[in-house]
Chains A and B, each alone.
Chain A
């Protein structure tokens, strides 16, 4: 039986699952953020803004489109019910019979350890709501939930009471989602029992691997002085470890960026960190999502592009290219995957990616890298992009991957291989013809 069309990267959590101060990531002031949320989550306000935009010539057509997209993003994000959001994305894939969507639950409760409001733990409700969607016969064949895990979760055993509880056929969660930019290193020892179990059971892990997104909101000093930076286990003699230690050392010295969380939080999600994990768990199946992000992809080809070089906001010691590093990790380790989610909304970056993968690069085991690249959209966070609509992204994908065989691998086979584990073994082969998909060649077994 051929694999179904799979979106390997989507979110359906709402603003109710984020701490009250979450909007501060966008709007600096707490009160302003609260009022902005109040205002913008009203249909009437959004309608009024759209109406004003139509008649006021202050903004260019592109800016108007961006504002409209932000309004759409807020509309989805402030929905009360995750099931409704899932219904929304699932409908976009109705043309792909038996489609699957990997829904990533995300721990947003520890974005500021000093903020007392962060005591309001919401991940359990977020996860339980998704678990209920998985149990709903209407959706259960289409949703593949991943469990959000954060080493700072306390009050229970993270492996037995959280991961093993939900990652079972009876609960339906089939992978783990981590988000280091929220304020922890992937090589945090508290994660090791989970990595060990995941490696033993081929359980897939998804991690955020771009410089953008949401970040830890507390101060740099609050992290630095509490021993949360799990650096003591790093070996200065090891080349990778030494690089990480050096990066942190330079960051401590560079006081001017201590208040710029979107910059210094890069140390958590840096691809180097996964090298440490993969050294201890070489067979760990992990997807470094977004291929480092569109900016990194474009930067990798900067010399060849005619456009002028953009001035980087990052200090020199944080300017290494995540895209090329992720490709290196994919080549070096057998189970390192990546996806094109979010990056898909950028045409220039996608051209560079497709051009590269068309050359059929292989890893050190002679396995084509494309077999470890997955289709994903990062729904609904892409709503803010001009071409961020789910349907637009599907079209972009089909337009980029003109070779049907490549498209089939990225959207069907790679995610299928990624999702298979000892907990969710592959289906036994059947003789029944595969369901026809819209992509030419989509119904052909590799």
Chain B
């Protein structure tokens, strides 16, 4: 149990590093924004019509959310989406007339004279303006394509939206929008626009929920690859890690109190609903007191490089001064402290697979009482290679579960440990 507890502690902190790295990369490459853009484009992709999803990004309300010409907004609220979409479709429905005298293209009819929103749509989808003038903004319309109640009161924007939809080529997307119009008109005859907004909002939110699911799946894959990279760069072989912890009671004795403290801090933060899962894990790591043992090992240079990389990404993304970025760095520093206690992480010549490239006898610094497992582990053979590759893959796969998973696991294992009786004395297993 003690070994498992220590393993979970190490995985929790490593997954924090992987999550931090993933988050920094995602921010840099605007993955969330790109996914939102692709999803909105796909939402309106019917292979024929104007892609309103792409057009949305030229709408001032969304254009202004961009940081620069290359970036995209990370998040679009449902209210903003609905407002911008209605405008975009309505603008698509507008007709313009070129005035040869002023040489200007003017929207027709002029906005102040619009109160005759009575286009009659033919069955072929083309809109024919009604010849009879009307003088109110609210008036029943009876298009032939759309089945709308005769007593329906239509305002200008709703009318424009209908014109925009009717201007589209006939595709399932057009049908979807037409159905939305009909549903809105049927359920709220006084203010169909309000109902249409609700319909669109529900549609958008449903899509966003699906995006959330896609993003989680996608992020899992990315976490695996970044986990694999971290495992290789920091030389984290799970099998060797387990074997070392299993055979080193001193090391476990150093790690156990840290695991308990970290679990306690995380448990306290669990009740704080203002924090996200990631923020909780980060805060818990920051709050935990890791005792650095500078005499045991030097800080791992590879880990230092990973941290520097995160720092660079953050600074490139202009996030260096934010509290979140600071927390991320402090949390990864904690891992550095943990490594200083003697966990077998990093590339050293007295550690496999680096040791495989050297003559075993040249490893002069090896203690004279090196136990059997460690001796054989330092030499190259087929089994050791197999275990090493498996160990790296296990690390990558484990880290892809994400920091919240490992912190929850830590909490459970600590609770189990506290519930069960602590062994009076841990026997040495090395022999």
Interface set of A (CB-CB < 8 Å, partner B): 16, 38-39, 41-44, 75, 78-84, 119-122, 124-125, 128-129, 132, 134-135, 137, 140-141, 155-156, 161, 168-172
Chain A hits for B29, CB < 8 A: 38-39, 42
B105 at the interface (CB under 8 A from A): yes
B50 at the interface (CB under 8 A from A): yes
B28 at the interface (CB under 8 A from A): yes
Extra 5 A-B pairs, beta carbons < 8 Å, given A16-B54, A121-B45, A122-B51: A42-B28, A81-B57, A125-B51, A140-B104, A169-B98
Give the residue of A83, A125, A135, A161 whose beta carbon is less than 8 angstroms from that of B96.
A135
For residue A172, which residue of chain B has the nearest CB?
Answer: B105
A201, chain B: closest CB distance, angstroms: 16
Q: Are B105 and A134 in contact (CB-based, < 8 A)?
A: yes
Chain A hits for B51, CB < 8 A: 122, 124-125
Q: Which stretch, B61-69, B188-196, B283-291, B338-346, touches the partner chain A?
A: B61-69
A27, chain B: closest CB distance, angstroms: 17
Top 4 A-B pairs, shortest CB-CB distance: A169-B98, A44-B316, A125-B51, A155-B48
For residue A85, which residue of chain B has the nearest CB?
Answer: B69
Chain A hits for B45, CB < 8 A: 120-121
Chain A hits for B97, CB < 8 A: 170
For residue B96, which residue of chain A has the nearest CB?
Answer: A170
Given known A41-B70, A172-B105, contact A121–B48 (CB-CB < 8 A): yes
B23 at the interface (CB under 8 A from A): no
Given known A119-B47, A124-B49, A155-B169, contact A170–B68 (CB-CB < 8 A): no
Given known A75-B70, A81-B63, A140-B105, contact A44–B57 (CB-CB < 8 A): no
What CA separation (Å) do A79 and B28 show in the bound complex? 16
For residue B97, which residue of chain A has the nearest CB?
Answer: A170
Q: Are A43 and B55 in contact (CB-based, < 8 A)?
A: no
What CA separation (Å) do A168 and B97 show in the bound complex? 10
Chain B hits for A84, CB < 8 A: 69
Can you list 24 contacts pairing A with B, beta carbon distance less than 8 Å?
Answer: A39-B29, A41-B70, A43-B70, A44-B317, A79-B69, A80-B69, A81-B57, A120-B47, A121-B45, A121-B47, A121-B48, A124-B49, A124-B51, A125-B51, A128-B55, A128-B92, A129-B55, A135-B96, A135-B107, A137-B104, A155-B169, A156-B48, A161-B169, A172-B105
Q: Are B95 and A80 in contact (CB-based, < 8 A)?
A: no
Chain B hits for A120, CB < 8 A: 45, 47
Q: Mark B92-109, 1 if CB is under 8 A from A, else 0.
A: 100111101001110100
Q: Mark B37-81, 1 if CB is under 8 A from A, else 0.
A: 000000001011111001101100001001011111000000000
What CA separation (Å) do A78 and B71 show in the bound complex? 9
Chain A hits for B49, CB < 8 A: 124
What CA separation (Å) do A168 and B98 show in the bound complex? 9
What CA separation (Å) do A121 and B70 show in the bound complex? 22
What CA separation (Å) do A433 and B54 show in the bound complex? 44
Chain A hits for B50, CB < 8 A: 124-125, 128
Interface centre among B48, B70, B98, B316 (most CB of A within 10 A): B70
For residue B99, which residue of chain A has the nearest CB?
Answer: A169
What CA separation (Å) do A168 and B108 show in the bound complex? 15
Q: Are A141 and B103 in contact (CB-based, < 8 A)?
A: yes
A154, chain B: closest CB distance, angstroms: 8
Chain B hits for A80, CB < 8 A: 57, 66, 69-72
Chain B hits for A82, CB < 8 A: 58
Chain A hits for B317, CB < 8 A: 44
B357, chain A: closest CB distance, angstroms: 30
B61, chain A: closest CB distance, angstroms: 14
Chain B hits for A155, CB < 8 A: 47-48, 169
B261, chain A: closest CB distance, angstroms: 38
For residue B100, which residue of chain A has the nearest CB?
Answer: A169
What CA separation (Å) do A141 and B50 show in the bound complex? 25
Chain A hits for B91, CB < 8 A: 132
Chain B hits for A75, CB < 8 A: 70
What CA separation (Å) do A83 and B58 show in the bound complex? 8
What CA separation (Å) do A261 and B244 show in the bound complex? 58
Chain B hits for A172, CB < 8 A: 98, 105
B186, chain A: closest CB distance, angstroms: 30
A271, chain B: closest CB distance, angstroms: 34
B32, chain A: closest CB distance, angstroms: 13
Q: Are A43 and B28 in contact (CB-based, < 8 A)?
A: no
B51, chain A: closest CB distance, angstroms: 4
Chain B hits for A156, CB < 8 A: 48, 169
A417, chain B: closest CB distance, angstroms: 19
What CA separation (Å) do A216 and B91 show in the bound complex? 34
What CA separation (Å) do A132 and B316 show in the bound complex? 35
What CA separation (Å) do A13 and B100 show in the bound complex? 29
Q: Are A79 and B70 in contact (CB-based, < 8 A)?
A: yes
A116, chain B: closest CB distance, angstroms: 11
B307, chain A: closest CB distance, angstroms: 18
B364, chain A: closest CB distance, angstroms: 39
B257, chain A: closest CB distance, angstroms: 41
What CA separation (Å) do A132 and B105 show in the bound complex? 11
A156, chain B: closest CB distance, angstroms: 6
Chain A hits for B98, CB < 8 A: 168-170, 172
Chain A hits for B100, CB < 8 A: 169
For residue A165, which residue of chain B has the nearest CB?
Answer: B167
For residue A154, which residue of chain B has the nearest CB?
Answer: B48
For residue A121, which residue of chain B has the nearest CB?
Answer: B47
Chain B hits for A78, CB < 8 A: 70
For residue B29, which residue of chain A has the nearest CB?
Answer: A38
A142, chain B: closest CB distance, angstroms: 12
A210, chain B: closest CB distance, angstroms: 29
For residue A132, which residue of chain B has the nearest CB?
Answer: B58
What CA separation (Å) do A101 and B107 show in the bound complex? 23
For residue B67, which residue of chain A has the nearest CB?
Answer: A43
A367, chain B: closest CB distance, angstroms: 29
Chain B hits for A134, CB < 8 A: 105
A39, chain B: closest CB distance, angstroms: 8
What CA separation (Å) do A135 and B70 show in the bound complex? 24
What CA separation (Å) do A13 and B72 show in the bound complex? 17
Q: Are A81 and B69 in contact (CB-based, < 8 A)?
A: yes
Give the residue of B58, B92, B103 whose beta carbon is less than 8 angstroms from that of A81.
B58
A374, chain B: closest CB distance, angstroms: 22
For residue A82, which residue of chain B has the nearest CB?
Answer: B58
For residue B30, which residue of chain A has the nearest CB?
Answer: A42
What CA separation (Å) do A141 and B102 show in the bound complex? 11
Interface centre among B50, B66, B317 (most CB of A within 10 A): B50
Chain B hits for A38, CB < 8 A: 29
A401, chain B: closest CB distance, angstroms: 29
Chain A hits for B70, CB < 8 A: 41-43, 75, 78-80
What CA separation (Å) do A16 and B104 show in the bound complex? 29
Give the residue of A42, A122, A171 whose beta carbon is less than 8 angstroms from that of B54.
A122
What CA separation (Å) do A129 and B63 show in the bound complex? 13
Chain A hits for B71, CB < 8 A: 80
What CA separation (Å) do A78 and B97 show in the bound complex? 33
Chain B hits for A132, CB < 8 A: 58, 91
What CA separation (Å) do A104 and B35 show in the bound complex? 29
Given known A38-B29, A44-B317, A141-B103, contact A125–B95 (CB-CB < 8 A): no
For residue B103, which residue of chain A has the nearest CB?
Answer: A141
For residue A78, which residue of chain B has the nearest CB?
Answer: B70
Interface centre among A39, A80, A156 (most CB of B within 10 A): A80
Q: Are A129 and B58 in contact (CB-based, < 8 A)?
A: yes
What CA separation (Å) do A149 and B48 show in the bound complex? 14
What CA separation (Å) do A171 and B91 show in the bound complex? 13
What CA separation (Å) do A120 and B47 show in the bound complex? 5
Give the residue of A79, A124, A169 whose beta carbon is less than 8 angstroms from that of B48.
A124
Chain A hits for B57, CB < 8 A: 80-81
For residue A88, which residue of chain B has the nearest CB?
Answer: B69
A407, chain B: closest CB distance, angstroms: 26
Chain B hits for A129, CB < 8 A: 54-55, 58
